[in-house]
Amino acid sequence: MTPDTEALALPEKAERRRWARIWPVLALMLGLLALVVLALATGRFAVPLGDVVEILGARLVGLPARADPAMQTVILQVRLPRVLAALVVGASLAAAGATYQGLFRNPLVSPDILGVSAGASLGAVLGIFLSLPVAAIQGLAFAGGLAAVAAVYAVGAAVRGQDPVLTLVLAGVAIGAVLGSAIALLKVLADPYNQLPAITYWLLGSLASVTSGDVGAILPAIGLGLAPLVLLRWRMNLMSLGEEEARALGVETRVLRPVLIAAATLVTAASVSVTGVIGWIGLLVPHVARLLVGPDFRRLLPASLVLGAGYLLAVDLVARTIAPIEVPLGILTALIGAPFFLWLLASGRRGWA
């Protein structure tokens, strides 16, 4: 090959490499769109796919739909808020998991490592124990998640002369255990006929009672949390190198790490406050995303967002159709996530670094 031919081939190779990086995310987005339509059409009251597309199209352009009014009610008022909640919560938990794993350089880290889920659970359980309204229960769950991480960070700041990453992880485990014991105590004291079933069901996670108002209430917090993750995603590649290496490359880790942790915590607390505790998404989805697009956080974060949204939507679709009664999401995510994670380990598909 002559030098001129090589010069002509370089842009073509660069273009192929660019598309090789982009097409997995595009394919995931198309698959997610198809899954949304399927979720809206499937249920105890089946709706033809054509009617689903017509109802959504008419709503988007502001025109009246010709479909049966009962179908419109099912699609727009029952299933659409639930689908939107699955998309938002799944994407948020997956993005938080990818962020935590990159920050702590540990493939086993998930959004509850700093006590977010335990703090939110304690807040919600306390609200149920006190027989508070649903909005107050969600508010206590949100505040509990943020307070738990604040306590973890306070403990980490008080411990000097240790690895800051390891200190935060250990503090999160310890505080999570304390919060878990408080939850157990409230379960023992709760009314076994009314409060205890509600507490148990909330701790297993569900989208059954989510409304459009709930989705609208958490969107500002989730948007505020995802914004710095998206804007600073290129710096995450440097943060994953380690404390000293990142500082040598000009990254102010003492400022950036708290910002990223606060952002990931915010989206996790907002999600858990509405849906309850849904495990394995923040742990499993980032691993699958790495297998598809690699460890570069600039591509890993978008892939995790799309995969997390689709995964929770698919699990929720199974939860409401697999049995006569609805199966809590936490059960299904564990049943699906744990064997798949073991398969990843057994097959040597690390997808890490």
Return the closest-CA partner of residue 37 out of 323, 324, 317, 275.
317
pLDDT at 160: 65
What CA–CA distance (Å, rounded) separates 8 from 20? 19
Q: Tell me 137's DSSP state.
A: H
- Which domains are seen in the chain, by residue range? 3-110+205-346 (1.10.3470.10)
Cα 240 to Cα 5: distance, rounded to the nearest angstrom:
39
Q: Indicate the burial class of 101 (C-beta count within 10 angstroms; 0-12, 13-18, 19 or more).
A: buried
Nearest to 203 by CA among 123, 289, 101, 113: 123
Q: What is the pLDDT of residue 15?
A: 60
CB 291 within 8 A of CB 349: yes
Report yes or no: 261 and 296 within 8 Å, Cβ to Cβ.
Answer: no
Cβ(283)–Cβ(304) below 8 Å: no
Token pair listed for 192: 């076994």
The two three-digit tokens of residue 129, written as one number = 């124990």
The continuous run of DSSP H or E covering 94 comes out as helix 80-104
pLDDT at 349: 54
The closest of 251, 284, 281 to 268, measured between CA atoms, is 281
In the prediction, which pLDDT does 8 show?
Answer: 45
pLDDT of residue 12: 63
**Within 10 Å of residue 260's Cβ, how many Cβ atoms?**
24
Q: Please provide the size of the chain in residues.
A: 353
Task: Name the residue type at position 228.
Answer: P
**pLDDT score recorded for residue 267:** 92
**pLDDT at residue 149, as a whole number:** 87
C-alpha angle 104-106-107 in degrees, rounded to nearest 5: 135
- C-beta neighbour count of 201 within 10 angstroms: 17
> How is residue 217 written in tokens?
């209430």
Q: What is the pLDDT of residue 13?
A: 64
What's the Cα-to-Cα distance from 351 to each of 61, 238, 284, 293, 344, rounded to whole Å?
Answer: 43, 18, 11, 9, 9
CB-based contact 263:315 (threshold 8 Å): no
Return d(Cα 277, Cα 216) in angstroms, integer: 19
What is the token pair recorded at 206?
Answer: 């569900």
Q: Give the whole-angstrom CA distance, residue 290 versus residue 307.
A: 11
Mean pLDDT by 10 residues, the chain (353 residues): 51 63 76 92 86 85 77 90 96 94 80 85 93 90 90 81 75 91 95 91 90 92 94 82 72 82 90 90 90 87 94 94 89 88 69 49
> What type of residue is 37?
V
- Which residues, other chains included, contact 179 with Cβ-Cβ below 8 Å and sequence gap of 6+? 115, 118, 119, 121, 122, 148
